[in-house]
Structure 1
Amino acid sequence: MLEQRMTELRDIAAEVFAADPEEVEKADSFINDLDADSLLIVELLAQIEQRYDVTIDEGDARRMTDLHATYEVVARAAGW
């Protein structure tokens, strides 16, 4: 299940950032490595909230800096 959810999050991020999924996996920072700006980060958050029917507060959203951190934030919000 972990691998499936990571793949789903990777694919959402890749679509939002117009990046290759492998680039998303390798990125240490969405902002630095994928040139994601704050608007794209907000779009990522919106897509994730809609997909998983969760609400992520602003403080947690700021920790969504890479794929693994994003998974941790979403997992906590979704109760995975």
Structure 2
Amino acid sequence: MEPVLRSEFFCRATTRCDSSAIHELVIDGDRAALHRTSRLRNRGTGETISIDVCDFFRFRDGLVVEFSEYPDFAALQRLDGPPAR
């Protein structure tokens, strides 16, 4: 099992995605790149924030075989609060 970053785990546990808007989708053979903005809500405080996310996919036989996601971690940090010390 791969380690999960504190802010990534915290985000999963405390936020919910209200909506996403796709800005650009680029497909080249078996690969795709997606740029989107997602609106997240902190489940505890109700605060919302929009963050940019870039996703990268690779397909084989119609299935996703690789997936990488790169959210704006600085924006997530502002929504989640300062890291625990």
Using structure 1 for the length normalisation, give the TM-score. Answer: 0.32
Q: Which has the higher helix share?
A: 1
Q: Which has the higher strand share?
A: 2
Q: Which is greater in Rg?
A: 2
